[in-house]
Structure formats: C-alpha cells, structure tokens
Amino acid sequence: MLAALALVISLAAQPFIFSGRVADSMDAPLDGASIAAICDGAALPPAASDAAGRFSIALPPGRCTVTIAFEGFAPFVQVVDAAEGGRQSRSVVLRIAGVQEAVSVSAAIGGVDIASATRTPTPLRDVPQSVTIVPQTTMRDQLMTSIGQIVQYVPGIEAHQGENNRDQIIVRGNSSSADFFVNGVRDDMQYYRDVYNLERIEALKGPNALAFGRGGAGGVVNRVTKDAAFEPERELTVQGGVFGSARATAGVGQPLGAAVALRVDGMVEHAGSFRDDVALDRYGVTPTVTIVPDTRTKITLRYEHLRDARVADRGIPSVAGRPAEVDVAAYFGNAADSRVRSRVNIAAAAVERRFDRVLVRNQTLVGNYDRFYQNFVPGAVDAAGALVTLSAYNNASNRTNVFNQTDLIAQASTGAMRHTLLTGAEIGRQLTDNFRQTGFFGPAATAIQVPLDHASVMTPVLFRQSATDADNHVRTSVAAAYAQDQIELSRHLQAVAGLRFDRFDLRYHNNRSGDTLERPDNLLSPRLGVVLKPIEPLSIYASYSVSYLPSSGDQFSSLTTITQQAKPEKFDNYEVGAKWDVRPRLSVTTAVYRLDRVNTRATDPNDPTRIVQTGAQRTNGYEAGVNGAVSRTWSVAGGYAYQDAFVASATTAAAAGARVAQVPRHTFSLWNLVQLHPRVGAGVGIVSRSDMFAAIDDAVTLPGYARLDAAVYVPLARGVRVQANVENVFDRRYYVNADGNTNISPGSPRALRVGLTAAF
C-alpha cells in the first residue's frame, strides 16, 4: 500500500520517458512486445511496442526495473535510474530462447490498434468490417515495391492494369484509381505510389464513407507513413535482380534533444523489365519531424517528393476470346515514344493535444501532382489473325489538393456503458487541369495496322487535339461533418453508430467551348455495427454501411449535360464476420457480405435517346484471412476470397446477368515464412486465381493461374541480413490483368532478386 501511494505521488512529478525499439536478431520489429516496469516496488501499467517495434513508457522518478518480453524470446531486463523530466532511448534485440543468433519469423499481431477504420484507436478485432494490414516486415520479406504487389496477398482485392500508368484496384467488384489515402487523408491522383517510407498498408473493405468521405465503394487503401521517433535509427536496403534492376532505400532517424526528433527516408531505383524496351527510373525522399513540447501534445510535420519516369506499356491484344499467342515480351507500338512521368509533392502537418479524457487531432495536407503519359494502344486483331490496329494519344493532368481534418475524441460513461465519442469535420479543395491530344499517323489517320507478330513500329506520330479531346479545368470543394459513438454495452457486446454529411460541389469549365457546368451533391452516409465477444480473443460482428460516388466519377475529369443531371451512385454493404486471435501473434478473420451498387446509368427501354438511372450491380462474397505466427518458427499471411460480381439490372455497358470485369470467382494467396535453422530462414508463397473476363462484355477470358514464389534468408552479422527471392519458380506463362479486351498484361517469367538489409 505504501509503495502504491509513493508511486501515485511520484507520478505527479514530470515523468522520465524510457523509449526505444524492440526487434529480433534479424532486425524484424516485434509488434506487441510487452514493456513492464516496477518502480520502487510498485508495478506500472504495461505498455506494448507498435508495428514498427517502437515503444515508450513513462516512469516516475526513482529506480525502476524494466522488462521487455515477447513470446518465444528470452526477456530483456534493464534497471533504469529515472530522473524527473529525463529521457532515455534504447534499441533492444531479443534472442530466441536458448539461441544466440537466429533468423526469426515475424508477423502482425491480431490485437493491434487501428485508427483509420473508425477514426479512433480501436483494436482491430473490434472493428466491424473486414480489414487487412500489410506491415513493413512483409513488404521487406518479399522485396515489395508497389501497391500492385502488395494487394496480391489481400483477399478481395485485385490489381487492375490501370493502362500501366497508375495504381488502380478492384475491391469487391468495384474499380477505382482514386480510393487511396495517406495517414487517413485523400491522395487520389492517378500515379504509382512507392512503399519506401511506409510503416504499413491498411486495406479496409466495404464502403468507408464515414471515415473517408465520397467514393471508397468497395474499399480503400490507406498508407501509414513512418514517423520520427526518439531513438536513433539507421536502416539500409540494397537490392538487385534480373532485367538490370537495382534499388536502394535508406532511413535515418535521430532525436534532436528531448522534444524534437527527425527522420529521413529515401529511395532510388532503376528497373528493367521482361517486356521489350520497358524500364522505369524513380526516386523519392521523405523528411519527417516529430515535436513533443509536453506530455500532452504531439506535432508531426512531413514532406514527400517523388519522381517516377517509365515506359508506357499497354500490353498485348486478344485473339478469339483469349490473350494473343505472341511472345510475352513483345511490345506493341514505339517504346521510345511512350512514356509516363509523375512529379508528386505532398506536405502534411498533424497536431494532437490531449485534455484529460479528450483528444483533439487536426491534420492538413497540401499536395501537388504533375502527371503526363503518352502511349500506343493495341486494338482489335483482324479476322485473319495477322494484323492488329494501333492508335496513340497523350494526356497531361495537374492537380492541387488541400484538405484539413479535425477530430475530437472523448471518453464518457452512462451507467455501466462506456462511450468513445467522435465528432469531426473536413474541408477540402481540389483544382485539376486536364489536356489530351490524339496521335496522328500522317495528315489524318488516327490508327494504323501492323503485323501481329512484329508490332514494334517506328512510324512517325504527330500529337494534336482532335474534336473530342479534353481541355478543361475542374474545381471541387468538399465540406463534411461526422459523428460516431462506439458503445461498450458490456464486456461481451459493443456497438458503433455514425453518420456523415458531405457537401460536394463540382465546377467544370471546358476551355475549348467556354462552357461551364456545375453539380452540387449532398451526401448522407450512415454506418452501423454490432460486435459480440463471447470470449476476449473472439469477435463476431454484423455491419451496414453506405457510400456514394458522384456522377462525375472517381476522378471527376469531365462533366456533361447528362451526368450533370444524374444522381450519385449509391453503395450499400451488408456484412457479417468473425475475427479470432487464436494466439497473441496469430489472427484468423472471415466475412460474408453483399454489396449493392444502384443509380448506375442505363438506356431507357422505351426511348433509346434517354438515359435513366435504373442500372444496378451486385457483389456477393466471402473472405477468409490468416496473419501471424503459427508457431515460434512459422508465420503466414494471406487468404481466400470468393466473389460473385454481376450486373443485377441492365446498364449502358451490359445486360443483366453479365459478370463484372476482372473479378475472378476464386482467389487464394498464402505466404509462409519458416525458420529452418537458427541461421537460415525460407519463404514459400502461392498466388492463384480462377478465370476472369477482361471487360464487361464478357468476350475475352483471362485464364486462371497458380504461381509459386520462394525466398531464403541468411544473417551475415548482427542486424545484417541477405535474402534471395524468386518469383514464378516454375516459369509459368500467365496473364495478370487488363484494361479492356485488347490491352492485356502478361505475368513475369521466372525472376530472381537479391537484397541486403542492414540496421545499425
């Protein structure tokens, strides 16, 4: 009793901050390690490390014994002489019990908190929707560098070709190039994102309007960036591979005193391709500053500069309802005159301030995106199967985004019920300029025919505007308010209810005609969820959510007199699922859902000149995921998805019953990381899917496939690891995705990459 009283008195003084990072012997961060402290005989509430292995615990002045423990590892113990107001940072390496040097597997923890889904820190198993988290360790283990590679291991998401000039995903049957966010703020320009500065990627499936606003019909992808922490960090990864590929990433973190910390992440890459004359060059840098003026306030400043230049590659055409039987390396068009360029500059500031049981958080993001692409487009193959049509065009877009979000999170109680209350607002402005030109092969021809078996051409092309090419300026404004209550009704029953209102205004100006069109929308998006917890590690949930997509589309690049009159498309999602933390480092999830898309445009059956909004699409699906450590030496990540996406009521694009493009009925992926020996680890992964159609007319089939990947990991010294990854071990021929029936992307043949990672 006296020790506890002394502890209470000592905590009234300014605490001593003991922080750091905990990792295994291969420098894989240990997520969920327990940090316990006993100070002058009294135990403090334990803390836990986050997904990056970082931890921080406040100690009262005096002598404290700190113990850092993780299942399967020998604990680390340190005695700390805590001075009032002081700080100490320590990097801790835990060893597998009884082993001095080892390759150890790592995995995400099922009980990790996630803030993006509900805009409040919530245990993942208490979020009533399907969420997949891909941590930095998984990206590193597989040498992932892109969103397209990452979503291969996310059930229910397919990577669309995106004309091979941008990130684009299909989530639960809905395709989007705009449903991307960074730290919860919209990042919706069409470009290729990199992963060098990320702590993790969150894939949140189902409509997410309450947390993210318009769009997000099938789901969203949220990038969580690395923050500057109050301990020194040094990370370097160098990798190279076939086709002349080379890449280096580095991260340096350093505290600049007790209240300021700095981190800089950088990347440079040159990558060739198995495709003829296709390559990319890119680099990026992200400095981040964390300022903690007192124990209640945190300020984060971040800036990212990214440049990406690559050859535009639209893939190969189809013949007789299948991908053409041509060399998978064959380039269609003139690679020397095909290019994609993106210049991205994003500045962000976040301020958090705690007032007893209230947290106020404000985020501001200013982004400028300058993008240009010029490409040759394979078209139809003639009846003889000998000639293919080629066309060309280019497109330039420049966008400036300004968004500000403010959240107020409060804890309250009414009788035996506990509430986490959220109220917030978002304002934003986006300014976009679009300019497109058509390629002319000679004075007037906008297309030529070339031999299917020799489609690389050097024919001169002049780019100029045709009668229908875009030249416009678009201004969009959003003002939103939202409220949510997460209610703990009892130990075994929770509920969440929320509502968001968005005022979305679009103003479209056609520079060619001088016409100006405007379209305002008032969007009201509810969210309801119930979570039943028969035991603490198990959650069974049911939810309903709504999202809207304005008639101008997810990139709002055009507005016509027809779309100006159209109501927003509406998405209703009904979902039931379960999340089970089988053990502290292993989680299993499952979900059954129905996603309805209504208000899509259709031709009036009584008047073919009129458009009516009677079209509808439905996706019925099932997802199952597994993530974590099955045993001390075996971890897994992946899952299975069944999707039945079809046109429920005829649209302008397809008749009722048509299957939605690029949504396979069955997908399965599983990555296994196994410690074969204290100094050798191995990885084996499988990625597979069933047949799918290339376009909504269901005329061209992309055959299903199964691909095997493998890896081996060997430590060279403390904090230094070398790895070799082989993609498509059996060198199978397959086709990844498409952008319609005549632009199909072949998968890579067998490819070897070698990486060296050092942390010091």
- Answer yes or no: are the C-beta atoms of 456 and 334 closer than 8 Å: yes
Local structure of 243: helix, strand or coil: helix
* Cα 141 to chain centroid, rounded: 17
What is residue 87's predicted lDDT score, i.e. its pLDDT? 82
Token pair belonging to 51: 């997904």
Query: Residue 221 and residue 133: Cα distance in Å, rounded?
Result: 10
| Rounded to 5°, angle at Cα 198 from 18 and 121 | 60
Q: Residue 623 CB: number of other CB atoms within 10 A?
A: 25
Distance, in Å, from the CA atom of 655 to the CA atom of 333, rounded to the nearest integer, reads 34
pLDDT in tens, 18-66: 888 888 755 567 888 889 888 876 778 788 888 778 888 888 888 888 8
Tokens of 551: 């008639």
Give the per-residue pLDDT at 25: 56
Q: Could you tell me which CATH class the domain 233-759 is placed in?
A: mainly beta
Q: How far is Cα 517 from Cα 514, in angstroms, rounded to an integer?
A: 10
**This prediction's pTM:** 0.86
pLDDT tens per residue across span 665-684: 999 999 999 988 878 999 99
Q: Give the number of other CB atoms < 10 A from CB of residue 433.
A: 17
pLDDT at 72: 66
Q: How confident is the model at residue 432 (pLDDT cuts 50, 70, 90)?
A: very high
Is-contact 717 757, C-beta < 8 A?
A: no
CB contact at 8 A, 129 and 543: yes
Residue 1: pLDDT band (50, 70, 90) is very low
> Among the listed ranges 434-438, 439-443, 689-693, which one has the minimum average pLDDT value?
439-443
Is the Cβ–Cβ distance between 750 and 728 less than 8 Å?
yes
Smallest CA-to-CA distance from 52 within 117, 135, 150 is with 135
Q: What is the CA angle 420-422-425, rounded to 5?
A: 175
Q: What angle (nearest 5°) sits at the alpha carbon of residue 100, between those of residues 96 and 102?
A: 60
- Amino acid type, 313: D
DSSP-assigned states of every residue in 687-711:
EEE--EESSTT--SEE--EEEEEEE
Residue 517 and residue 559 in contact, taking contact as beta carbons nearer than 8 Å: yes
pLDDT, residue 106, reads 39
Tokens of 645: 């996406």
Query: DSSP letter at 501?
Result: E
**What number is the average pLDDT over the span 429-440?**
97
CATH topology of domain 2-93: Immunoglobulin-like (2.60.40)
Q: Are 340 and 312 in contact (CB under 8 A)?
A: yes
Domain range summary for the chain, segments of one domain joined by +:
2-93, 233-759
pLDDT given at position 441 = 94
Sequence-separated (6 or more) residues with CB below 8 Å from residue 456:
276, 277, 330, 331, 332, 333, 334, 335
Tell me the C-alpha distance between 215 and 746, whole Å.
30
Q: What is the tens place of the pLDDT at every residue in 173-201? A: 999 999 999 999 999 999 999 999 999 99
Tokens 């040159």 identify what position? 270
Give the H/E segment covering residue 139.
helix 136-141
| pLDDT tens readout for residues 230-246 | 888 899 999 999 999 99
Place of tokens 């507005």: 559
Q: What is the pLDDT of residues 480-538, one digit of tens each?
A: 999 999 999 999 999 999 999 999 999 999 999 999 999 999 999 999 999 999 998 99
